[in-house]
């Protein structure tokens, strides 16, 4: 389940728990596409809790939709991932190493507020979360 967290217009902030569906991925991509069309840079906050499954039906279409993002890497500012599972944190660190133009930081759940504050510091849009 994906829930959007209120944030400035140049920040995509989401909380994901248990299962990620195709609808979740589409909603996240829609929000990200809108942010990228209107802002440079765009910042991202992702909080995951007890991820159990990622729906694979239609995953190929979502990957194809995400591919153009590689050409926009310099449009990403700060990316914070808060995860309660070590495998998610490890995967994020690998992704960070593969995407050197993006400022990634990985946090544990007890650092959630710090992570969100760090992302919001990068925002240039007035507004409160």
Instruction: Report the CATH number at residue 65.
Output: 3.30.750.24
Give just the sign of the alpha carbon dihedral 33, 38, 41, 43: negative
pLDDT at 128 (0 to 100)? 43
Give just the sign of the alpha carbon dihedral 116, 118, 123, 127: positive
Supply the range of the domain harboring residue 99: 2-122
Band of pLDDT at residue 51, cut at 50, 70 and 90 = confident
pLDDT at 103 (0 to 100)? 87
The verdict on residue 49 lying in a domain is yes
Q: Which residue has the higher pLDDT, 12 or 22?
A: 12
pLDDT in tens, 16-50: 999 888 888 889 999 999 999 999 999 999 999 98
The verdict on residue 95 lying in a domain is yes
The verdict on residue 127 lying in a domain is no
Q: Which residues pair with 42 in a beta bridge?
A: 76
pLDDT at 52 (0 to 100)? 82
How many angstroms separate the CA atoms of 35 and 125, rounded?
12
Angle 69-19-112 (CA atoms, 0-180°, nearest 5)?
A: 70
Mean of the pLDDT values across residues 90-103?
85
Backbone φ and ψ for 78, nearest 5 degrees, come out as -95, 135
Indicate the average pLDDT of the chain: 88
Q: Which of 3-12, 70-79, 120-129 has the lowest mean pLDDT?
A: 120-129
The verdict on residue 13 lying in a domain is yes
The verdict on residue 129 lying in a domain is no
Q: How many domains does the chain have?
A: 1
Task: Provide, rounded to the nearest whole percent, the portion of the chain with pLDDT above 90.
Answer: 52
């Amino acid at each position: 389940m994906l829930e959007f967290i209120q944030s400035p217009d140049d920040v995509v902030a989401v909380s994901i728990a248990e299962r990620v569906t195709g609808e979740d991925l589409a909603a996240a991509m829609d929000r990200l596409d809108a942010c990228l069309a209107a802002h440079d840079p765009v910042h991202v906050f992702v909080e995951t809790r007890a991820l159990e499954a990622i729906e694979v039906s239609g995953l190929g279409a979502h990957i194809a939709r995400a591919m153009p993002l590689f050409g926009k890497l310099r449009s990403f500012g700060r990316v914070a991932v808060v995860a309660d599972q070590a495998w998610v944190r490890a995967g994020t660190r690998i992704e960070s190493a593969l995407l050197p133009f993006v400022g990634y930081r990985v946090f544990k759940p007890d650092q959630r507020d710090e992570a969100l504050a760090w992302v919001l510091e990068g925002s240039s849009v007035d507004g409160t979360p």
